[in-house]
Structure 1
Amino acid sequence: MKRRRFHRAGRSGNAAIAAVTVFALCAGTWLLRDGTGAHPPPQPSAAEAHTGDDRSAGGSPVPALPPSPPLRVRIPAIDVDAPLTGLGLTATGSLDVPPADVANLAGWYEAGTTPGERGTAIVAGHVDNAEGPAVFYSLGALRKGSTVEVDRRDGGVAVFTVDAVEVYDAEDFPDTRVYGAADRPELRVITCGGGWSRTTGYRGNVVVYAHLTGSR
């Protein structure tokens, strides 16, 4: 299977994930095997993009949680309920990816910010694999105000509210916006998207922006 780059995060002061390149299997192997490309994943509409001050959207921020590794991610609006595996860096400085043969599995950058902690936490997962849709196949259908829940090793649950869902072509990926430092607990959920072709696979990425609005 062909690998496709998510993009390199620029160095940004407090960014715990500075200079990380995130990779995923984005060739759309399932669509290639299908032979028609008739089942591409949903893509976010312009209405779900950032507009004005998204800091006040979808609920008020709450104090940051202490660091604790995440165990599971749930996004009820798109029926995601998946375990999380820690992802390290490869020899070339890219973020490793979850096993492609396990469709319902996502990963998080374990050397960076933990979800709920102050800063920008990163979760990434496959859109599909050779067998069909994978964990984040429907990510582009998510809407502002939706909830993302992350179970943590300390027994708590970090609850995030979605501020925006955007799609970018590879050459226009906004590194600083996605990976840059944050002064509150924020979460990015990333998969492949931006259209698909038989020659290049997926042409970009879908990115969900969310901030912490609760815990239990």
Structure 2
Amino acid sequence: MHGRRPPRATRAGLAAAVAALGIGGWMTYDGVRVQTPPRPSVADALTARPGSAHSTSGPDATAMTFSPPVRIRIPSIGVDAPVVALGADTAGHLRVPPEDDRNLAGWYRDGASPGAAGNAVMDGHVDTPRGRAVFYGLGALHKGATVSVTRADRSTAEFSVYGIEVYAKDAFPDERVYGPTSKPELRLLTCGGGHTKATGYLGNVVVYARLVKSLRP
């Protein structure tokens, strides 16, 4: 199985992290897939629009200081995984977690850390040649689900999911997903949207979440 490089983002003013992540090419692989990942339900999917990403009810937690993530937990879909920091390759494209560990999530180290102000971006494989991987169940999340990220300073950033979407890889809304924000937000990404042997996965699942609680030792 071979990873296809995502194209670079083109929206003017995006940070270097956004340019590295690209427009909708996240973790799109060639190869035969025998499993169909869950897709968001109509009731829980977010119809994202510019300017509406933060128009959610409930209190906003105060942004935390920068600290790298070391573990992510999503109890409702059984995720409990270590996190590896990811950089960009020489072409400016985000690297993906190694496939030899199916229970491993990635974090873009040149962007915001989970809990700090800004959009923290984390990704994970939906599956590998050996079967389901860490973010296989991402599309099965519901609004209000909890995502907890343990950080290197031993604090925990707790997020609440407010939207789940599937985007075609050739129509990925980079500004909606990666656009700047002064609030602490989290984006989780994996492959989805159907799969063909010829093209690999046809889209990407994106989970939108915002910080609701910070826990310190």
| TM more than 0.5 | yes
State the partner residue of 2:43: 47
Matches of residues 36-185 of structure 1 in structure 2 within 5 Å? 37=34, 39-50=35-46, 55=54, 57=56, 59-185=58-184
Whole-angstrom distance in 2 between the partners of 1:146 and 1:7: 31
Question: Per-residue displacement from partner, 1:29-54 (whole Å, max 9, x unpaired)?
Answer: 462xxxxx3x2111112222225856
State the partner residue of 2:21: 21
Question: Per-residue displacement from partner, 1:118-158 (whole Å, max 9, x unpaired)?
Answer: 00100011000010000000101011110100001111000
> Match of 1:189, SS?
strand
Extract unaligned runs of 5+ from structure 2: none
Whole-angstrom distance in 2 between the partners of 1:160 and 1:12: 29
Moved more, 20-29 or 68-77: 20-29
CA RMSD of aligned residues (A): 2.1
Whole-angstrom distance in 2 between the partners of 1:67 and 1:14: 20
Extract unaligned runs of 5+ from structure 1: 32-36
TM-score if structure 1 supplies the norm length? Answer: 0.89
> Match of 2:76, SS?
helix
Query: CA 1:25 to 1:177, structure 2 compared with 1: closer, same or farther past 3 Å?
Result: closer
Asked whether the equivalents of residues 90 and 96 of structure 1 are also in contact (C-alpha less than 8 Å), the reply is yes
> Match of 2:96, SS?
coil
Query: CA 1:44 to 1:19, structure 2 compared with 1: closer, same or farther past 3 Å?
Result: same
State the partner residue of 2:209: 210
Asked whether the equivalents of residues 31 and 197 of structure 2 are also in contact (C-alpha less than 8 Å), the reply is no
TM-score if structure 2 supplies the norm length? Answer: 0.89
State the partner residue of 1:34: none
Asked whether the equivalents of residues 9 and 20 of structure 2 are also in contact (C-alpha less than 8 Å), the reply is yes
Whole-angstrom distance in 1 between the partners of 2:182 and 2:21: 22
Query: CA 1:51 to 1:193, structure 2 compared with 1: closer, same or farther past 3 Å?
Result: closer
What is the Cα deviation at residue 13 of structure 1? 4.2
Whole-angstrom distance in 2 between the partners of 1:67 and 1:55: 21
Query: CA 1:16 to 1:143, structure 2 compared with 1: closer, same or farther past 3 Å?
Result: farther
Whole-angstrom distance in 1 between the partners of 2:119 and 2:13: 12
Whole-angstrom distance in 1 between the partners of 2:98 and 2:186: 22
Letter aligned with residue 36 of structure 2: P
Moved more, 200-209 or 42-51: 42-51
Moved more, 148-157 or 40-49: 40-49
Q: Percent identity?
A: 50
Asked whether the equivalents of residues 98 and 125 of structure 1 are also in contact (C-alpha less than 8 Å), the reply is yes
Letter aligned with residue 194 of structure 1: G
State the partner residue of 1:8: 8
